[in-house]
Every structure is written in structure tokens, then in C-alpha cells.
């Protein structure tokens, strides 16, 4: 029987350059050629508190309440960071992600749209986030809510027409997480990524907060984590490292005190982030902690076998294989048709994969993760590829119908690399 990747490539008419002939293991990545990272595994009795329907962390392993190990694999969904209405957000859009058998979607947010005291607050924004969470869960995906853009501690100063990626979170981010965590504390399928891409601060400031070179005071990861737990939420928490969330080398000496914590990295094919740096920068941490690659990609283009220019995909292929070998979780940037430089994994809103998207889709179709209740993905109602469960729909306060689409152009949002 031909490999799944070969079947897909033949069907779609893609070449090896476009990302075909990828993953002979039958899962996302290639068989380990050096010894894989050993998973801690899951005891039959949970060792940490669990948010309802969710997960807990044991050593370097994410576990379900039933004692099954779990890996998150999926895509990133931008637009709610630059628009309070999002772009093309709908149940159908999330269903397309689910058709790739993604079990996770990471949704980028803006604290100035959420917080009521902000001059650019949108009264419908929390309800739209609710709807997005509901659509994602109905499509069989867990949700990572990512604080993508912030305001240096001055509410309303984030110009949504620009780029509000700051060096670190701020005092308003603490308020944001207090509210968001309280809102979703009874839904363990929602994870909280505390801040998108910290950079140009020390590891001490990263952990504990403090002054920045720009003259404003940053909030540290420990403060953001504490705000989540003070709200009564036991949901999984995700913390990205420095160098725009790429570097996790300082984590062992600057650990967040707490439980149910994953550490995030953002490898892009740019200077200082080549595969030869992965072991030192973040791969080593997979031996002791759950690591999730919450963004990755390549903004360059290459010439394929037919002489056409296509989005580069080799870096994504190597990244997924490496993540699999290290039991690392991942979500790919991005489910948004912004072209190679964005970088995107889809060519249009119909979910047509481009070359790196084909790499991502092939990997996702090859996994067989357990769902939150311990069943195999795609085998229970609500999972990717299965009919939605009636109880999954309409369970979030303020859930509305399909949200309005912002037809305008988006600001350049490719993560800083």
C-alpha cells in the first residue's frame, strides 16, 4: 500500500519540492535516527489539578484525566489580533481546519479589544472569541488562546493598523489573563499562551517583570501565570521563551513556579534559527518539560520541479520530523491566505494547501492522537472528521452565528523572526 503522503501528493499533483514523500513513519515525522526523547508517561491517577474536560502535565508529558498521553498538533489562526471582528471567522472555516485532522488551533488575541476600559474595546469581541472557541471544539480541536498583541501598559495605545507585538507583556496583560482565565476555567480544552513573542528583555524580567529599555514596566511570566491560577483556572498554561519566543535555554534557571505548564518555541527559517541550533535552543528541554512549537514556518520561495515559484517547505518538513522525534507538540503558522512571506499554509479560504501547507496537512492526517476523553481522534462525535456532538454546540456564553468578516487588508503580521 502506498504511503499516505504519496497518495495525497499524487492526488494533488504535487512534487517532492512541494513537500511530498514526507513522513514514512505513518505519523507526522520520520522514524527517529537518533534515540527519541523518552516520555515521562501518565499515571492512572492524575498528579495535578485538571480543568474540566482537560489535561494535566506529568514530567515532560501532557496527560488526559484517563491517564493517556496527548500531543497537540494543529494550526495558528490569526486576525483577532488586528481586527475586533476577525477575518473570515466562521464555523465552516474551523471545520476546514478539522478536515485536516488538526486537533488544536491557536487563536491570536489583542488585550485592547478585550478589556472594557480600553478606548478601542469592542463590546462584541469576547462573544466572538466565545464563538471561535465553540466552532473549534465542535470541529474536534482544542484551543490555545494566545495573547498576541499588547499595549506597553497604556490601554488603547495598540494601533490595530500597525503591529503591537511588544517586548513583553504589561500590567494590562495581568488584568486580561485574570478575566480570560475566569471566563474559561470550566473548559479544560482551552489553553492559555501567556505572551506571544518575548524579546529584548533579560531572563529575570521575562520571569519576574521589571523595567524595559523603552521606559515602561513589563509583567513577567510568573505574574501572568499567577493571575490565571488566582482566577481559579487549572487549564494548561503555555509560556514562550526569549528571542521572539525561540530561545528556551534560560528556562532551567528561570522556571515558572507552578503546575500544568508547557514551554513554547517559534522556529522560523531565519538567521540563528537553523536546524543546527534546535538542540541547544529548545530541543534539550523536551527531556524534562512539555514543549510546544506554537509557530513555525519559512517566508521564502523556491522553484519547484516544474519551474514554478512555490512557498518553501523543507524547513517545515524538518521541523515536524524533529518535533516528533522529541515528543514535542506543534501548531503551524498560519491558517490565513497571506502568501509565502506571511508565511501561510493555505492558498485561499477554501483551505487549499500550498507547499508548506501540504507538509502540515500530510503530517496531521498521519497522526492518531487521543481526544480529551481518551478516544482516538476522529472516532468520537466532535473530533476532526466526525460529526459534531450536540452538546458541543452553543455551550459558550454569547455564542453568536457566523461573525462578520473584515474585508479590509491586514497589517503585516508574520511573526518577527
Domain 4-392: assigned CATH number? 3.20.20.80
Q: What percentage of the chain has pLDDT greater than the value 90?
A: 77
Mean pLDDT of the chain: 85
Instruction: Dump pLDDT digits (tens) for 283-338.
Output: 999 999 999 999 999 999 999 889 999 999 999 999 999 999 999 999 999 999 99
Does position 23 have pLDDT exceeding 70, yes or no?
no
pTM assigned to the model: 0.85
Containing 137, the helix (H) or strand (E) segment is: helix 125-138
pLDDT at 382: 36
Q: Which of 355, 287, 292, 354 is nearest to 320 (CA)?
A: 292
The per-residue pLDDT for 36 is 74
pLDDT of 385 over the 90 cut: no
Is 407's pLDDT higher than 80? no
Output the DSSP codes for 157-205. ---TTS----SS--HHHHHHHHHHHHHHTT-TTEEEE--S---SS-HHH
Task: Please give the Cα distance from 267 to 417 (Å, whole number).
Answer: 8
pLDDT category at 343 given cuts 50, 70, 90 is very high
- Across the strands, what pairs with 292? 264, 329
Buried b (16+ CB within 10 A) or exposed e, 317-343: bbbbbbbbbbbbbbbbbbbbbbebebb
Look at residue 372 in the predicted model and tell me its pLDDT.
57
Residue 159 has pLDDT above 90, yes or no: no
Average pLDDT over residues 265-277: 97
Domain range summary for the chain, segments of one domain joined by +: 4-392
What's the pLDDT at 13?
42
As a whole number, mean pLDDT of residues 6-34 equals 38
Amino acid at each position: 500500500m502506498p504511503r499516505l503522503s504519496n497518495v495525497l501528493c499524487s492526488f494533488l499533483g504535487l512534487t517532492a519540492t512541494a513537500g511530498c514523500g514526507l513522513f514514512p513513519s505513518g505519523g507526522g515525522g520520520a522514524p527517529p535516527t537518533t534515540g527519541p526523547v523518552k516520555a515521562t508517561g501518565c499515571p492512572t491517577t492524575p498528579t495535578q489539578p485538571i480543568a474540566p474536560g482537560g489535561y494535566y502535565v506529568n514530567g515532560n508529558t501532557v496527560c488526559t484525566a484517563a491517564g493517556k498521553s496527548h500531543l497537540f498538533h494543529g494550526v495558528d489562526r490569526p486576525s483577532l489580533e488586528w481586527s475586533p471582528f476577525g477575518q473570515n471567522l466562521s464555523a465552516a472555516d474551523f471545520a476546514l481546519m478539522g478536515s485536516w485532522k488538526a486537533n488544536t488551533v491557536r487563536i491570536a488575541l489583542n488585550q485592547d479589544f478585550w478589556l472594557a476600559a480600553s478606548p478601542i474595546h469592542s463590546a462584541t469581541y469576547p462573544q466572538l472569541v466565545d464563538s471561535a472557541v465553540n466552532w473549534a471544539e465542535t470541529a474536534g480541536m482544542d484551543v490555545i488562546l494566545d495573547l498576541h498583541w499588547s499595549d506597553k501598559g497604556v490601554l488603547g495605545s495598540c494601533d490595530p493598523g500597525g503591529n503591537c507585538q511588544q517586548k513583553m507583556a504589561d500590567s494590562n496583560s495581568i488584568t486580561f489573563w485574570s478575566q480570560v482565565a475566569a471566563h474559561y476555567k470550566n473548559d479544560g480544552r482551552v489553553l492559555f499562551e501567556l505572551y506571544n513573542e518575548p524579546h529584548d528583555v533579560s531572563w529575570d524580567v521575562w520571569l519576574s517583570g521589571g523595567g524595559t529599555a523603552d521606559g515602561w514596566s513589563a509583567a513577567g511570566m510568573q505574574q501572568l501565570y499567577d493571575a490565571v491560577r488566582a482566577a481559579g483556572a487549572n487549564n494548561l498554561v503555555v509560556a514562550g521563551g526569549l528571542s521572539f519566543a525561540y530561545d528556551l535555554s534560560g528556562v532551567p534557571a528561570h522556571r515558572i513556579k507552578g503546575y500544568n505548564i508547557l514551554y513554547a518555541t517559534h522556529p522560523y527559517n531565519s538567521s540563528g534559527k537553523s536546524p543546527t541550533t534546535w538542540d541547544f535552543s529548545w530541543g534539550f528541554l523536551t527531556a524534562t518539560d512539555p514543549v510546544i512549537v506554537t509557530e513555525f514556518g519559512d517566508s521564502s520561495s523556491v522553484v519547484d520541479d516544474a519551474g514554478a515559484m512555490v512557498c518553501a517547505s523543507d524547513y517545515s518538513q524538518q521541523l515536524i520530523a524533529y518535533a516528533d522525534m522529541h515528543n514535542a507538540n506543534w501548531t503551524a503558522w498560519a491558517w490565513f491566505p497571506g502568501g509565502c512571506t506571511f508565511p501561510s499554509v493555505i492558498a485561499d479560504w477554501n483551505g487549499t494547501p500550498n507547499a508548506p501547507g501540504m507538509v502540515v496537512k500530510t503530517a496531521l492526517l498521519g497522526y492518531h492522537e487521543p481526544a480529551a476523553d481518551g478516544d482516538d481522534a476522529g472516532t468520537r462525535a466532535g473530533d476532526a472528521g466526525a460529526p459534531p456532538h450536540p452538546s458541543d454546540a452553543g455551550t459558550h456564553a454569547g455564542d453568536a452565528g457566523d461573525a462578520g468578516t473584515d474585508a479590509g487588508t491586514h497589517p503585516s503580521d508574520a511573526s518577527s523572526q
